[in-house]
Amino acid sequence: MAKSDTIPNAVIGRLSLYLRQLEALLAASRGTVSSKELGAMLGQSDAQVRKDLAYFGQFGQAGVGYGVEDLVQSIRRILGTDRTWNVLLVGAGNLGRALVSYRGFLRKGFSLNAVVDADPNKVGELIDSARGIRVQAMEEMGAAVREHHITLAILAVPVSATQEVADQVVAAGIKGVLNFAPTALQLPDSVPLTAVDLSVSLEQLSFQLSSDA
């Protein structure tokens, strides 16, 4: 497989969107789909679809299109979600709670296994009754990571605490970090970091409204 540093992030983002659309087609029992159809569903060209997929190999057949189920499996394999990543959530505030209950967040491929918070008043609370997960203290992080073989951490903590918490999750053996706090983090090069900046979405919207006016 191509190494991640040669693939633009935007391509990976579009693979996720293709996967959503293909999963919907699979649920509707569609057998094949063309790059043109798939592109049209997402408002982009068939050439872009083919170019994005070409980073990862040869998919589909000329004149027939892609086998929906095959392509779902291939993209999951590319994205690494054909296996299950165990996830630690740090922060049981409003954002953490929203993530726990957000149906679309922990899809196939991700499993929430532990939640920790620095607030003693939250420790012990049953935050995810479906999975039977109680909030644990920060000091229990290392043990939870080892016990549940957790590789990913989601940081939903205040900006002022983010770097300290990032250092703690790395020390606890976490291999990758998803940061929701609107601040830059310093992590070892060996630990991939993805940041979610929600204001980017609002700016996309204001751009569309401004330039269409």
Q: By C-beta, is 1 or 64 nearer to a second copy?
A: 1
Which residues of the shown chain bind a second copy in the complex (CB under 8 A)? 1-4, 7, 9-10, 12-13, 15-17, 19-20, 78-81, 85, 87, 93-95, 97-99, 101-107, 109-110, 151-152, 154, 159, 175-178, 181-183, 192, 194, 196-212
- Scanning the structure block, which residue is given the tokens 């929203």? 98
Q: Which is nearer to a second copy, 5 or 62 (CB)?
A: 5
Residue (90 or 99) nearer to a second copy, CB: 99
Closer of 118 and 178 to a second copy (Cβ): 178
User: Per-residue DSSP letters for 91-131?
Assistant: --SHHHHHHHH-TTTS-TTEEEEEEEES-TTTTT-EEETTT
CB of 142 to a second copy, least distance (A): 20
* Least distance CB 42 / a second copy (angstroms): 10
> Which token pair is 76?
């999951």
The three-state secondary structure class of 181 is coil
- Give the number of residues written for the chain: 213
Number of Cβ within 10 Å of residue 163's Cβ equals: 17
